[in-house]
């Protein structure tokens, strides 16, 4: 599976990754997952798909789950595993690190077989995976090719169902499946194009999976996150402008930190969200509530 033809350094080192300010007016600051954890996930086991590097949303979620007491395992594409993912895993004492291309059913079966052998049950499955051709995230949506459409929908939407089905023998009642979506599922966002269609399919999949698995006590939800500077985001044309404009418009007047999204994931993974399933939880500083820019 071809990954974007950019390295994290080339994309992310152009400008330092920064949340505009951790000190906000009125004394408000984003959550820091290393401050004041509560053991909300003590005894739970989580498997996270989608860490590419330490800018990945999956990595933010991994740190947050780990800080709350979960035992976490990681799976990522083979090409990133040894150089990028294993060193990060070692830093947190994570020893389950397995390759998986989510478009390959045999690899999905193998990763869950390994999980069963090494860890047994699974309480939290995190799907933070997406991919589309670079040329389909630029220009006009009407030009999307059939192959590009299939690729984006397969890797970014169908894979949630494939991973959930693979995980099913290990998921206990009370387990939580979490995926990552974006506003482009609900509204036409410039250049998001086929990925918006994939996210719409992903969000619909969340509802159907939640309906299927609810009777088994398994919850399925999506986090619709505001823009974060990651490798995947770098493939969307105009992302830099979108990211900069976001903080001037979003009600909270700042960009999202990985810890903001990690916090929502902890909540959805924990028993605090025991009555929540089939939802798309916006974690976007309020951006999606707006009818137009402006305000107080
Ligand atoms: N960055 C944002 O602004 C933003 C906003 C909302 C939602 N999201 C979503 O968050 C999720 C994580 O993306 P990210 O922004 O952290 O970027 P990222 O590049 O760090 O993560 C994307 C991951 O998908 C993986 N992937 C791609 N094809 C794969 C395949 N065939 N098999 C297995 N893994 C594959 C990549 O290896 C990478 O680890 C994605 O679903 C993305 O759409 C991102």
280 neighbors 224 (Cβ within 8 angstroms): yes
Residue 10, pLDDT above cutoff 60? no
Residue 8, pLDDT above cutoff 60? no
Provide the pLDDT confidence category of residue 30 given band limits of 50, 70 and 90. low
Of the spans 9-23, 30-44, 97-111, which averages the highest pLDDT? 97-111
Provide the pLDDT confidence category of residue 293 given band limits of 50, 70 and 90. confident
- Ligand 1 pocket test, pick from 57, 205, 283 with the greatest ligand atom count within 8 Å of Cβ, gives 57
Which domains are delineated in the chain? Answer: 39-283 (3.40.50.720)
Provide the pLDDT confidence category of residue 20 given band limits of 50, 70 and 90. very low
The per-residue pLDDT of the chain, averaged, comes to 90
Catalytic residue list contains 208: no
Give tens-digit pLDDT for 225-244: 999 999 999 999 999 999 99
The pTM is what?
A: 0.91
Catalytic residue list contains 158: no
- Taking the centre of ligand 1 as the mean of its atom positions, its distance from the CA of residue 116, in whole angstroms, is 25
User: Ligand 1 — pocket residues by CB below 6 A?
Assistant: 1, 50-52, 56-58, 76-77, 80, 100-103, 128-131, 155, 180-182, 225, 227-228, 230-233
DSSP string covering the chain, please?
A: -PPPSS-HHHHHTTS----S-SS-GGG-----TTSS---TTTT-EEEEE---STTSHHHHHHHHHHHTT-EEEEEE-HHHIIIIIHHHHHHTT---EEE--TT-HHHHHHHHHHHHHHT--EEEEEE------GGGGSS-GGG--HHHHHHHHIIIIIHHHHHHHHHGGGEEEEEEEEEEE-GGGTS--TTTHHHHHHHHHHHHHHHHHHHHHGGGT-EEEEEEEPP---TTGGGSTTHHHHHHHHHHHSTT-SPPPHHHHHHHHHHHHSGGGTT--S-EEEESTTGGG-SSS---
Give tens-digit pLDDT for 98-149: 999 999 999 999 999 999 999 999 999 999 999 999 999 999 999 999 999 9
Provide the pLDDT confidence category of residue 31 given band limits of 50, 70 and 90. low
Q: What is the average per-residue pLDDT within 191-198?
A: 97
Provide the pLDDT confidence category of residue 11 given band limits of 50, 70 and 90. very low
- Taking the centre of ligand 1 as the mean of its atom positions, its distance from the CA of residue 129, in whole angstroms, is 4
């Amino acid at each position: 599976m071809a990954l974007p033809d950019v390295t994290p350094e080339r994309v992310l080192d152009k400008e330092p990754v920064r949340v505009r300010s951790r000190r906000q007016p009125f004394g408000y600051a984003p959550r820091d997952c290393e401050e004041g954890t509560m053991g909300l996930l003590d005894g739970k086991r989580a498997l996270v798909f989608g860490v590419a590097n330490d800018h990945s949303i999956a990595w933010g979620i991994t740190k947050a789950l780990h800080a709350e007491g979960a035992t976490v395992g990681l799976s990522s594409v083979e090409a990133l595993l040894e150089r990028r993912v294993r060193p990060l895993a070692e830093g947190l004492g994570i020893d389950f690190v397995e390759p998986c291309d989510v478009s390959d059913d045999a690899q999905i079966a193998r990763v869950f077989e390994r999980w069963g052998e090494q860890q047994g049950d699974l309480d939290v499955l995190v799907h933070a995976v997406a991919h589309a051709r670079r040329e389909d995230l630029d220009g006009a949506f009407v030009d999307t090719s059939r192959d590009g459409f299939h690729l984006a929908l397969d890797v970014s939407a169908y894979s949630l169902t494939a991973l959930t089905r693979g995980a099913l023998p290990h998921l206990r009642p009370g387990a939580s499946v979490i995926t990552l979506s974006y506003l482009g599922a609900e509204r036409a966002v410039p250049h998001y194009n086929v990925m918006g269609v994939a996210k719409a399919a992903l969000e619909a999949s969340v509802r159907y999976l939640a309906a299927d698995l609810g009777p088994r006590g398994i919850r399925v939800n999506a986090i619709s996150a505001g823009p974060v500077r990651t490798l995947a985001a770098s493939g969307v044309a105009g992302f830099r402008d979108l990211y900069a404009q976001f903080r001037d418009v979003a009600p909270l007047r700042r960009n999202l930190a990985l810890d903001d999204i990690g916090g929502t994931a902890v909540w959805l993974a924990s028993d605090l969200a025991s009555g929540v399933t089939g939802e798309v939880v916006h974690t976007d500083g309020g951006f999606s509530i707006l009818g137009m820019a402006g305000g107080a």
